[in-house]
Structure 1
Amino acid sequence: MATTVRRAVLTLPAAPLGPENPLPGLRPLDEQHVVDERTRAALPRDMARQVGHAPLRTLLPVRVLDGYGRERAPADLDTIVIENDRLRATVLPGLGGRVHSLFHKPTGRELLYRNPVLQPADFALNGAWFSGGLEWNIGATGHTTLSCAPLHAAIVPAPDGGDMVRLWEWERLRDLPFQVDLWLPADSDFLYVGVRIRNPHERTVPTYWWSNIAVPEDERTRVLAPADEAWHFGYERSLRRVPVPVSGGVDRTYPLRGEYPADYFYEVAEESRKWIASLDAEGRGLVQTSTDTLSGRKLFLWGSGRGGRRWQQWLTEPGTPGYAEIQAGLARTQLEHVPLEAGAEFSWLEAYGPLAAGPAAVHGEDWTAARAEAEARLEEALPRARVDAAYEAWRPYADHEPGDPLATGSGWGALEVLRAGFKLPGTPFGEETLGEQQEPWRELLRSGTFPSPDGAASPPGPSLVAQHWRDMLETAPADPLTEYHLGVAQWHAGDVAQAVRSWERGLQAASSRWPLLRCLAVADLDAGNAGRAADHYAEAFDDLCRERGDGEAWSAATAALGREAIAALLGAGRAGAARAVWAELPDDLRGSGRFRLVEAQLLVAEGDRAGARALFDAGFEVPDLREGAQVLGEVWARAGDDPLPDAYDYRMRPAAE
């Protein structure tokens, strides 16, 4: 059959994403992939430089997604299906462009780990993320903020004369447009993926990319890559060089032989072909290869321990097989950000398809022979020269303008193009995509004034923080809402003193005080002033309770500010004031899993260990438990002396660490 592209609908049990958190992300969510200065000092010079290059200080201008739950119902998801007589790729344009499935027809094999449910969990830089498939991680260390966001999608001509699906968006953490082009040449066993990241600015921008492939795992799954050493990163936040395949007496290329979750970033020689494969007991599975720009390769494993198994169950449903991740990136490790110079771009080509290698060699004790066997079979199936030629053939097509849209992303790219007049052939960001969230900023651009909200009061909309928007806010009439957004932009720029002054000026005339007070509370915490932070949080929550109306946005604001306020008050030793905030929360919030944990923390602080233990015994789930979080075990230990039950064991590192 000829290669076809069509729309389709996939029905999955899904937990709704819920509303955005309206509180600005003045600080990043806890990111596990960080190392201390001593560790960094021992790294190779180029790696150390990139590890220390431009880490995130905030999540701005992106908003946190933490409004989801654990109750799933059948949901219809729009998909784009790319198909020839050998492969069928199913793409989710409304969820980060995730390739949900890659099915090889001749063997009847699903090459990816295909999650049977859509269950958001707190793994992305901004919260909501889900497991499975093939995802495109851009922005900064961690899972992209676009994990659960819509991308633009359309059909463009492919290099072989067929159709190609283009996905594109504006990545907002780094202010960079990017595109992902997917096509299946006729009779090909490999999905081709052309990726381009452009820097349209007049400054160098830190850049990050890792293609993340979830693959099925069992006890005989082995991951192979062209390396004899790797950088091991564990959730105790250490980075060290280890031999491949055996480290600590265990062959770490078998994901289930390790006990705890871990990353292995392979040391791939500069001259080596870039590839990674996950193969089963029969030597069959998926291989990923690319042109040399995408030089990094990684294995992530959950391990066989109780915590890793619990996380896998958390991300899907009982009885579902486990998975590991094989990945490919722009640097040796995911802790690094690579400078992209003004006006420059990174581009490369990836290929994904089946691999069949001799099982005796693949699973033999001779690692060199195992690697050689896999690489030889890859060369037969898809020669390195063909990948390089496909990249060269694709490059002229990267600028082709898309045809009729298959899906629509956000309006943020259109706003930036409208502001700066960027010329970005192949990735149009049309004004028709501008929406409600962009409108106040469009008005600021047009008139120099940030508009006050019309009608009923509501929580402030998203802030923009890039220098050009900050400059416009500084010259706009200084009403309280403008001062609020200006302070957020100044905070993002690292000008903490000016941010505090802007928020304090805004308070003088503000009828809605709680957004400004909350920002001041975060600044107090950042400065180590727990007492003043507690004062500001308590006042902010009281003001929110006086002002709040009905609707999803107000419920989200109440939940978010309530949790932050209680945590700050407990941190300042004010259990009584924290209990007062708790008493003002709506009943449905207090009964949710998120706030059951908060209640247990309150009870422990009040000295009621038995009451806290009773909450655990009754059972609860915290939908947005953060990746690597130890909080359940910590609160349990304060509530009693018994071993942590399986249901609450999400530990991703040894207890002694």
Structure 2
Amino acid sequence: MTTIRREVLTLPAASPGPDNPLPPLRPLDEAHRIDDRDRAGLPRDMARQVDHEPLRSLLPVMVRDGYDRTRRARELDALVIENDRLRATVLPALGGRIASLRHKPSDRELLYVNPVLQPANFALNGAWFSGGIEWNIGATGHTTLSCSPVHAARVPAPDGGEMLRLWEWERLRDLPFQVDLWLPEGSDFLYVGVRVRNPHESPAPTYWWSNIAVPEERRVLAPADEAYHFGYERRLRRVPVPEYDGVDRTYPLNSTYAADYFYDVPDGRRRWIAALDEHGHGLAQTSTDVLRGRKLFVWGTGPGGRRWQEWLTEPGTGGYCEIQAGLARTQLEHVGLDPESEVSWLEAYGPLEARPNGDWHTVLRGAEERLEAVLPRADVDTAYEAWRAHADTEPGERLAEGSGWGALEVLRADLKLPGTPFDESTLGAEQEPWLHLLRTGTLPTGGPHEPPGPTLVARPWRDMLETTAATPLAEYHLGIAQWHAGDRAQAVRSWERGLGCAAERWPLLRCLAAADQHDGHSERAAEQYAEAFDDLCGHRPGAADGDERWTAVAAALGREAIGALLAAGRTADARAVWERLDPETRDRGRFKLAEGELLAAEGRTEEARALFDACFEVADLREGDESIGALWARLGDEPLPARYDFRMRPDGN
């Protein structure tokens, strides 16, 4: 029979560190934007979904950039669901990621298993790690829940056994979701039932891609003759499959540069994708038809792609590619979800043996026939109907706890969400002031010298903030909610009102500085940032107190202030901010890069070059970020050293 048990997984892992305490007010730096030249040629439904409410802000989610690259053995809580054929290892504290899927009769691992846990800046809000199967909900990109806990519990399965249910509240779109893992007795396939609900009275944009990491020495098969190719030059092109530009792109190692291939699976065709090694062994993923999209992501064999592969794991441990399945044809699209409705489907993951090499249509036909033999399409549809009847079943034994944000929203709107309870017991310190606002109509002012906590920006919370007492903290949060809603002028007025009576001015000054920066007032932004950092230093407890929150605030504000001051040509003031940062902060790779930019601005080229020679690592370097190469180019004409080469596009300089 299927069993679910707890385990402890020990991995070399980097410290996650604290979240960035400053609310993300700048426009979202999203690499997956389509060039206007390509928009006109898209099918009408795709063009409509590309334009359907793309994410423009991370609020209310905070940025996760406090992690490092020093790995030591750490224990991770794991949940194992297992029958006599398969064993799946799930990490509930890390977005419910399936870290391993092992086929027991053949003793084969079906996924790419990362031997380390190394966060990197690939999630929408920062920290993400590679490997396994992840559940991407929210908006284009890796979910903000990549390194966050989700709720988990045992649930009765359709066959009388047990399922493992994962659920959480996705905060970018304010949508609850669940993922049910079900292993019928004797099954070679793991069934995954997914449901996303919109409990609100207005429609919501929806996004989902299941992301599967597999070793890159594979051939990737999907039932399509064409695909949409998207690269870091931000062009979306319709290309033939398997050969494009004279190269068979279904072999990941045949591509030089990182790229997405979104397969155009014809209507009526079974939805599946597989990755097979040279001997024909590998993984297949299939689903009910609602999950229409299939995709291959490759890092490429160029120096940038290879460097990113090393960055995400240990050198010499092998690379990976990603095969994915989503609600739309491409990840540039968002699907509308009607008020008080839901969307659901069933996926299946398991081993497949088929001939990988040869004529494309012959290979596809053979793989599809083999998949039909081991898991008929009709059986997937039947399993979906059986699971759907159990989707509302209340969970039994709780195995892991997620955040309290869902509980707060359930209380606010008096929601009924059968099968995914968000209990009041999960409410914590972050939700406490908002719970007080909900119940009393007032927002607590917080303790003395207390950094502002997380903010909420949805319309109902904004309405409450507009009617509560106009304290500096309330004006701070109200302005952030107005900024998120696009009412920038009113946000500035709220922050200015709060500033008039604030004892600690730096949170409001920083917001005003970010607004000035957004509007192109670089000199005024620099002045506001300098004043904000000075005010922070005057109120911050001494470094000896060792309060991680204040260290994180000073680092985040100092980093923004240095950038704004350098942009305004105020090099001496940027140097003054740098000198007031903690020595531990200045030793971090991100701040070594800032020091290099500061030295370059001061004309101290040799000292800036010496930083490169001493070797620094920017732990939170953003996917596609070319700032290291840009600084190197300012310092001389020599080629960029390989350890700093993260360029992911043909013309990256």
Bin the TM-score by the shorter chain: over 0.9
Give the Å deviation of 1:130: 0.3
Stretches of structure 2 that go unaligned for 5 or more consecutive residues are: none
Match in the other structure for 2:370: 377
Match in the other structure for 2:552: 556
Q: Secondary structure in 2 aligned to 1:399?
A: coil
Match in the other structure for 2:257: 260
User: How many residues align structurally?
Assistant: 649
Instruction: Tell me, in whole angstroms, the C-alpha distance in 2 between the residues paired with 1:4 and 1:601.
Output: 55
Give the Å deviation of 1:164: 0.2
Q: Secondary structure in 1 aligned to 2:390?
A: helix
Instruction: Tell me, in whole angstroms, the C-alpha distance in 2 between the residues paired with 1:30 and 1:635.
Output: 20
Match in the other structure for 1:71: 70
Q: 2:316 aligned with 1:319, yes or no? A: yes
Instruction: Tell me, in whole angstroms, the C-alpha distance in 1 between the residues paired with 2:146 and 2:13.
Output: 15
Instruction: Tell me, in whole angstroms, the C-alpha distance in 1 between the residues paired with 2:165 and 2:631.
Output: 47
Residue 245 (structure 1) aligned to one of 222, 242, 246: 242
Q: Deviations over 1:585-615 (max 9, x none)?
A: 1111112211110000111111122111111
Match in the other structure for 1:648: 644
Give the Å deviation of 1:78: 0.5
Instruction: Tell me, in whole angstroms, the C-alpha distance in 2 between the residues paired with 1:336 and 1:145.
Output: 18
Residue 235 (structure 1) aligned to one of 232, 235, 239: 232
Q: Does structure 2 retain, via aligned residues, the 8 Å contact 1:458–1:553?
A: no
Match in the other structure for 1:103: 102
Instruction: Tell me, in whole angstroms, the C-alpha distance in 2 between the residues paired with 1:583 and 1:208.
Output: 44
Residue 537 (structure 1) aligned to one of 525, 529, 546: 529
Instruction: Tell me, in whole angstroms, the C-alpha distance in 2 between the residues paired with 1:377 and 1:521.
Output: 60
Q: Deviations over 1:14-44 (max 9, x none)?
A: 1111111110011355221112333223322
Instruction: Tell me, in whole angstroms, the C-alpha distance in 2 between the residues paired with 1:199 and 1:29.
Output: 24
Instruction: Tell me, in whole angstroms, the C-alpha distance in 1 between the residues paired with 2:222 and 2:50.
Output: 23
Q: Deviations over 1:303-327 (max 9, x none)?
A: 1111101101000011111000000
Instruction: Tell me, in whole angstroms, the C-alpha distance in 2 between the residues paired with 1:75 and 1:179.
Output: 28
Q: Does structure 1 retain, via aligned residues, the 8 Å contact 2:35–2:236?
A: no
Residue 292 (structure 2) aligned to one of 292, 295, 307: 295
Counterpart residue type for residue 598 of structure 1: A
**1:483-498 alignment, distance < 5 Å:** 483-498=475-490
Instruction: Tell me, in whole angstroms, the C-alpha distance in 2 between the residues paired with 1:481 and 1:37.
Output: 41
Instruction: Tell me, in whole angstroms, the C-alpha distance in 2 between the residues paired with 1:396 and 1:27.
Output: 44
Q: Does structure 1 retain, via aligned residues, the 8 Å contact 2:509–2:532?
A: yes
Counterpart residue type for residue 454 of structure 2: P
Counterpart residue type for residue 506 of structure 1: G
Match in the other structure for 1:591: 587
Q: Deviations over 1:195-222 (max 9, x none)?
A: 000000000000000000000122xx10
Match in the other structure for 1:306: 303
Q: Does structure 2 retain, via aligned residues, the 8 Å contact 1:484–1:516?
A: yes
Q: 2:471 aligned with 1:479, yes or no? A: yes
Q: Secondary structure in 2 aligned to 1:616?
A: helix
Q: Does structure 2 retain, via aligned residues, the 8 Å contact 1:155–1:166?
A: yes
Q: Does structure 2 retain, via aligned residues, the 8 Å contact 1:178–1:196?
A: yes
**1:435-474 alignment, distance < 5 Å:** 435-454=428-447, 456-474=448-466
Match in the other structure for 1:505: 497
Instruction: Tell me, in whole angstroms, the C-alpha distance in 1 between the residues paired with 2:518 and 2:113.
Output: 41
Q: 2:273 aligned with 1:276, yes or no? A: yes
Match in the other structure for 1:10: 9
Match in the other structure for 1:418: 411
Match in the other structure for 1:396: 389
Give the Å deviation of 1:10: 0.4
Counterpart residue type for residue 507 of structure 1: L
Stretches of structure 1 that go unaligned for 5 or more consecutive residues are: none
Q: Does structure 2 retain, via aligned residues, the 8 Å contact 1:217–1:322?
A: yes
Residue 605 (structure 1) aligned to one of 601, 617, 621: 601
Q: Does structure 1 retain, via aligned residues, the 8 Å contact 2:28–2:55?
A: no
Q: Deviations over 1:491-549 (max 9, x none)?
A: 01111011000000000000111111111111111111111111111111111111112
**1:149-228 alignment, distance < 5 Å:** 149-218=148-217, 221-228=218-225
Match in the other structure for 1:567: 563
Match in the other structure for 2:422: 429
Give the Å deviation of 1:391: 0.2
Match in the other structure for 2:512: 520
Query: Comparing 489-498 with 22-31, which one deviates more in the overlay?
Result: 22-31
Q: Does structure 1 retain, via aligned residues, the 8 Å contact 2:533–2:561?
A: yes
Counterpart residue type for residue 31 of structure 2: Q
Instruction: Tell me, in whole angstroms, the C-alpha distance in 1 between the residues paired with 2:276 and 2:460.
Output: 49
Q: Secondary structure in 2 aligned to 1:94?
A: helix
Instruction: Tell me, in whole angstroms, the C-alpha distance in 1 between the residues paired with 2:35 and 2:473.
Output: 38
Q: Deviations over 1:352-376 (max 9, x none)?
A: 0000002xxx210x11111111111
Instruction: Tell me, in whole angstroms, the C-alpha distance in 2 between the residues paired with 1:656 and 1:471.
Output: 46
Q: Deviations over 1:295-354 (max 9, x none)?
A: 000000001111101101000011111000000000000011101010111100000000
Instruction: Tell me, in whole angstroms, the C-alpha distance in 1 between the residues paired with 2:504 and 2:253.
Output: 53
Q: Secondary structure in 1 aligned to 2:578?
A: helix
Match in the other structure for 2:57: 58
Q: Does structure 2 retain, via aligned residues, the 8 Å contact 1:28–1:125?
A: no
Give the Å deviation of 1:459: 1.1
**1:320-359 alignment, distance < 5 Å:** 320-358=317-355
Q: Secondary structure in 2 aligned to 1:397?
A: coil
Match in the other structure for 2:612: 616
Query: Taking structure 1 as the reference length, what is the TM-score of the superposition?
Result: 0.98
Counterpart residue type for residue 283 of structure 2: L
Match in the other structure for 2:399: 406
Residue 363 (structure 1) aligned to one of 357, 361, 367: 357
Q: Does structure 2 retain, via aligned residues, the 8 Å contact 1:29–1:126?
A: no
Change (3 A) 1:656 1:615: closer
Instruction: Tell me, in whole angstroms, the C-alpha distance in 1 between the residues paired with 2:342 and 2:572.
Output: 55
Q: Does structure 1 retain, via aligned residues, the 8 Å contact 2:626–2:652?
A: no
